[in-house]
Amino acid sequence: MATAKASRAKKTDNPPADTTRQLTSTQFLRTWRHYDTDGNGYIENDELDAFLKEMLSDHCGQEIDESLLAASKAKFLAKYDQNYDGRISLEELAVILPTEESFLLRFRGKINLSSVDFMQIWRQYDEDRSGFIEADELKGFIRDLMLTNKEDISPQIIDDYEQTMLELFDVNHDGCLDLNELAKVLPVEENYILKLKGKKQLTRNEMTEFFQHYDQDNNGKISGAELMALLRDMLQAEGKEPNFQEIKEFHQAILSLCDVNHDGMIDEAELTLLLSPSAKK
């Protein structure tokens, strides 16, 4: 693991942001991992204190007391915390510690994906439907992301990024990415179903809006990645983080319960059946 000092920018009055030295994406991601110790996708609380203490200590050449830390933290967040949530995201750190390459922000786009988009990406790269994005599939994922602006990418660069992504996101160290690990790479919008939590019954207009949210190709059916996204959101709304196998099993159960015409898809009438109180029991 890279140390903080090895990846830190040059000292200036604003050491993180005003530096002219740029990190490689690999160095940057390892720096991120060094500070995001709980792996939740943010540098916050004690992690942020540790980040600032090291930056300030390196700049001032002295121990940092609590009053200086508090004042510096307030100024730091005012300048770099773009969404005012009191913590630093990966994108915000990219402003503080600029990278030589834009790979980081290509795979961590600033706009969160819809759950359907996310499941479409999952299905595209989990080519063998194993429930994991394995070595060759991950290389293809990285290559496609980098080809946004580059025509010729060496195998070594692909290998380097693959190892870096596994270091950051492969929580169980099995050498591949599962569904929930990929969700840390590609942030997904707020679960749509959670917005409706607490409603005993949806109005007709709410039901139509719900259906259209998942029927993104507007063909009158929720199918394929759309249906997988709906089922994942349903399980998450119940406080679970389902893996691909659990979604597959839920898929079979839901179709046997609600797919009245046995076409392997859910239309609006079948969705009404699925969301009715009796169907949930």
Domain match, 207 and 258 both: yes
User: pLDDT tens across 224-278, in order?
Assistant: 999 999 999 999 999 999 999 999 999 999 999 999 999 999 999 999 988 875 4
Question: For 10-32, b where at least 16 C-beta lie within 10 A, e where not — what string?
Answer: eeeebbbeebeeebebbbbbbbb
**pLDDT of res. 227:** 96
Reference 225, options 274, 177, 179, 276; nearest CA is 179
**pLDDT of res. 230:** 96
What residues contact residue 270 under an 8 Å CB cut-off, 6+ apart?
258, 259, 260
Residues 110, 95 contacting (CB under 8 angstroms): no
Domain match, 202 and 172 both: no
Q: State which residues form the domain around 74.
A: 4-101
Residues 123, 115 contacting (CB under 8 angstroms): no
Residue 108 lies in a domain: no
Report the alpha-carbon distance of residue 240 to residue 233 in Å, rounded: 9
Tell me: pLDDT of 79 over 70. yes
Instruction: List the CATH number of the domain containing 241.
Output: 1.10.238.10
Report the alpha-carbon distance of residue 270 to residue 255 in Å, rounded: 10
Report the alpha-carbon distance of residue 274 to residue 265 in Å, rounded: 12
Domain match, 13 and 84 both: yes
User: pLDDT tens across 131-165, in order?
Assistant: 999 988 998 888 877 765 555 677 887 888 888 88
Residues 192, 182 contacting (CB under 8 angstroms): no
What residues contact residue 101 under an 8 Å CB cut-off, 6+ apart?
24, 25
Per-residue confidence at 125, pLDDT binned at 50, 70, 90? very high
Report percent pLDDT > 70 for the chain: 80
What single-letter DSSP state applies at residue 164? H
